[in-house]
Structure 1
Amino acid sequence: MAKLIKKFWRLEEACFQDWEPKQHDECEAESHFRTTLEIAPDGRYITRMPLRGEPSSLGDSYQQAYRRFTSLEQRLKRNADLYKEYRAFMNEYETLGHMVPVTTEDFHKVKYFIPHSCVVKPDSTSTKVRVVFDASAKTSTGVSLNDIQIVGPTIQKDLFDLLIDFKTHNDVLVADIAKMYRQIHIAYTDTWLQCILWRDSPNDQLKAYRLTTVTYGEASSSFLACRALHEAAEDYRSVNPRIADTIQRSFYVDNLMIGASNADELTETKREIEHALSLHGFPLRKWASNNASVLEGIPEKDLEPLIQVGDQEVIKTLGIAWNPKTDVFQFISTKNIGSKLH
């Protein structure tokens, strides 16, 4: 018995030691978010990066960013279509103000350069080429931006629970937030920690840019984006507590999945969620439903297009296929042979 008790306490102590630092980081991330959050004139949130280390620990990052950019540029020059898509992505980034040029006078303020590349998603119904940022790239001191960021807690519902809840309703609706991460501003001071190199053509001068929004590829970005979404719900709680709760329990990152007992209730829920999120710059798009009446009045460009898979028309959501007409989930293999989940 004594041996069992000693073993129990050793296990308890080990669990506590494993969990405590993570718990501390989660509390730090939440406290940091609450105390530094601001609201921009356009209603969008302005957040600070939650850091566990000092930016002064970062060494030179320019040389690696420069080498990786020139390598990327050579790759793009060999693929005209990819280069065109990459340019379009970056031009949109700049047009929207999500990246702004760094002047020669301010170049010394840059604290970290993030290398970037792209992933190609041929089955995407919106962006085929997505630029990704590597904030795990080590500087000359062996420390990266991600090394000094706090990851933050997972605050959204488990995916399996979300899917199960979705299947309990008669009428259902899905959508996602357009450019979710980039709807949240990063405080000016922290933008110097997320700079990149870019030029539209090898004949142009290479320029430095500051990324002004939450950036995909940074350790804290998922937490910041999901936490801002929860904050938008909290800000709406005094107006409608039910809608605030629905927003907080019905998203998986940027994917919304809601349901109701009838089309009228679902349409009203949709309307209020749209309104609540629009107040803080989270526009919803890619709508799909198993009840066509719920989609009435939505512009064609904001509807999720159906994909033909075998003899069925489906949409892709959360990594699986869903047939809105039959309200059936389908797991698609590389040979387009799927197993159904009713």
Structure 2
Amino acid sequence: MEISKGQSPHTQPNMRTAKVYTALESLLCVNCKQQQIIQNCESFLKLDAQLRNKRARELKVCLNCLRGGHFLSNCNSRSTYKKCHRKHHTLIHLEVNKANETIPIPQQIVNENTITNTSNQTNSTTNLSSSTLNAQTLLSTAMVKVNDTEHNSHQIRVLLDSAFQSNFVSEGLFVPQISSALPTHTFNRNAIEIPPNIKLADPRFNESRPIDVLLGAGIFWSLLSVGQVKVNQLILQRSKLGWLISGELVNQRFISDQTRASFFSLNELDHKLERFWQVDEFTSNDHILTNDEEYCEEYFRKTTTRDEAGKFIVKIPFKASVHNKLGNSYDVALARLKNLERRFETNPVLQENYIKFMQEYQRLNHMSNIENNNDNAFYLPHHAIIRESSETTKLRVVFDGSCKLETGLSINEAQFTGPTLQNDIFSIIARFRLHQYVFTADVEKMYRMVWVHPEHRRYQRILWRETTNDEICTYELNTVTYGTTSAPYLAIRCLIQIALDNQDYYPLESQVIKEDVEYSQEYSSLPSLDMSQ
């Protein structure tokens, strides 16, 4: 600032004139070099508190007023951050929790913990919460042995919760996950003095493991028995499943931070709606094949042959080398066979029909007895499906390609599904009603009319014997097997190939096969009886 005496035409005599020279450099943001203060700098505000703190130190500005030319120790400002009463700016404040871990405060409102992603067509919501646990609460769990409809025995872990109105079963049947693993942390059970005469319903209650079934209030109270023991803040409650343990377990070793993030996406719902609309619409069967579907078509054309009798010989479209990494399937197939035999003991009629089915399989050469060899082979478990409404075969043996091994994989997950080759059901029904005369046809044993290449039959092995007095034998299934992922595609693809190979000689018949086949069923109509001859 400069003050001088003088006169001008616009000032009175002896009027003092002041000239002010402003240093524009002081208004430049030290971060972006724009004419603004750093508190308004968009690029600086985009950073979280931890990065802003780091950036301020790099710029060598005062951490209290965020201005240059001096440091925190020389700052003339007496203001402090009111939350922690320390001398630093609000924008670079770092929140410290009880465990002395540094957590940056979000740039937006602190209480806002729901972030909705609207940057694209994906509708999703992410919830984030953080809390400090000073104790671990144990919930009542029990190990229970259950039998499925095939009388196979399974050991499952049950959570008993009187606050639930419903019962839940995990992904094997209904919901993908009942709860997180319980307890939240594995701990040493020796920290609890459990009386030696008490047999716990869940001997491994201290290990953090997944929950298979949740039993709510409708069952919970009926399981309780008379008897209760209190150990510190834990309650041991007698039940029909054994002694249940629950309550709060306080131990300094359990103090830890838990951060839970849950992500909800509407993509799956959108996909299901899209599939519903596709079924509901009248569409043609012409669609663009995916890369996997194109691979299946190319693989079929390259590997499929026909024998002297005209039968198709196909190879299974496997995914890379996944089928060689499935794990031990022999023991699973053996256990399932023995469970089936226990079922035969209580149902002789089932055993008789089952034996007849397997004898027919052998008589038609659809399976062959081989020497037991575990090398690079897959053994399919099998069970019976009863269809009382069937006019031909009331019992069908289904080979379980969806059976998961210890690796978590199944033979079905190692196969490509292949493209959908048949028309949608709406188109088939519309053509079925088009003309005056209608007819239907059924391709008997359609899947078993297609042979599997000998190199791939080792992935279709089964264990079988007619009675428990016989030796367990190993068989290879020689034909496309019902119950495997690629079976529908391979069978229908061969049927369509017959139509393509003969369309010059039988154009009408070929068109009917290509347009009006729904799996092994044929539904079509003709304008006159003469055309059906």
Determine what percentage of the aligned residue pairs are the same residue.
33
> Aligned partner of 1:206: which letter?
I
SS in 1 for 2:319: coil
SS in 2 for 1:60: coil
Note if contact 1:182-1:215 (Cα within 8 Å) is conserved in structure 2.
Answer: yes
SS in 1 for 2:377: coil
Tell whether 2:75 aligns with 1:75: no
Q: Partner of 1:139 in structure 2?
A: 405
Please list, as runs of the form range in 1=range in 2, the aligned pairs for 1:91-110 lying within 5 A after superposition.
91-104=359-372, 107-109=373-375
Deviations 1:140-197 (CA, angstroms, capped at 9, x unpaired)? 3222111110011111011122112101111111110010000000000000001000
Q: Partner of 2:303 in structure 1?
A: 36
SS in 2 for 1:231: helix
Note if contact 2:428-2:524 (Cα within 8 Å) is conserved in structure 1.
Answer: no
Runs of 4+ in structure 1 displaced over 4 angstroms? 6-10
Give unpaired runs (5+ residues) of structure 2: 1-118, 124-266, 275-288
Q: What's the TM-score, normalizing by structure 2?
A: 0.46
Tell whether 2:377 aligns with 1:86: no
Tell whether 2:387 aligns with 1:114: no
Note if contact 2:367-2:478 (Cα within 8 Å) is conserved in structure 1.
Answer: yes
Note if contact 1:233-1:245 (Cα within 8 Å) is conserved in structure 2.
Answer: yes
Note if contact 1:64-1:115 (Cα within 8 Å) is conserved in structure 2.
Answer: yes
- Which of 458, 461, 464 aligns to 1:195? It is 461
Tell whether 2:313 aligns with 1:46: yes
Deviations 1:100-157 (CA, angstroms, capped at 9, x unpaired)? 01124xx244510000001100110000000001111122322211111001111101
Q: Partner of 2:394 in structure 1?
A: 128
Tell whether 2:323 aligns with 1:24: no
SS in 2 for 1:152: coil
Distance 1:251 1:263 in 2: 20
* Cα-Cα RMSD: 2.3
SS in 1 for 2:365: coil
Deviations 1:76-118 (CA, angstroms, capped at 9, x unpaired)? 22111111111110000011011101124xx244510000001
- Which of 482, 502, 507 aligns to 1:236? It is 502
Note if contact 1:110-1:195 (Cα within 8 Å) is conserved in structure 2.
Answer: no
> Which one scores higher on RCO, CA 8 angstroms, separation ≥ 6?
1
Please list, as runs of the form range in 1=range in 2, the aligned pairs for 1:208-247 lying within 5 A after superposition.
208-247=474-513
Q: What's the TM-score, normalizing by structure 1?
A: 0.70
> Aligned partner of 2:313: which letter?
I
Distance 1:109 1:45 in 2: 27
Distance 1:178 1:113 in 2: 26
Return the offset for 1:25: 1.1
SS in 1 for 2:459: coil
SS in 2 for 1:192: helix
Distance 2:369 2:513 in 1: 36
- Which of 442, 448, 470 aligns to 1:204? It is 470
Return the offset for 1:215: 0.2
Deviations 1:10-51 (CA, angstroms, capped at 9, x unpaired)? 9xxx99xx99xx811111111111110100121110000001
Note if contact 1:115-1:133 (Cα within 8 Å) is conserved in structure 2.
Answer: yes
Q: Using a 3 Å threshold, how does the CA distance of structure 1 residues 77 and 9 change in structure 2: closer, same or farther?
A: closer
Q: Using a 3 Å threshold, how does the CA distance of structure 1 residues 72 and 9 change in structure 2: closer, same or farther?
A: closer
Note if contact 1:135-1:217 (Cα within 8 Å) is conserved in structure 2.
Answer: yes
Deviations 1:242-272 (CA, angstroms, capped at 9, x unpaired)? 3211111111000011211111112x2xxxx
Please list, as runs of the form range in 1=range in 2, the aligned pairs for 1:57-72 lying within 5 A after superposition.
57-72=325-340
Distance 1:264 1:97 in 2: 39
> Aligned partner of 1:73: which letter?
E
Distance 1:7 1:67 in 2: 50
Distance 1:110 1:182 in 2: 24
> Aligned partner of 1:112: which letter?
F
Distance 2:511 2:522 in 1: 13
- Which of 161, 179, 186 aligns to 2:445? It is 179
Give unpaired runs (5+ residues) of structure 1: 1-5, 269-342
Return the offset for 1:7: 4.5
**Structure of larger gyration radius:** 2
Return the offset for 1:9: 11
SS in 1 for 2:508: helix
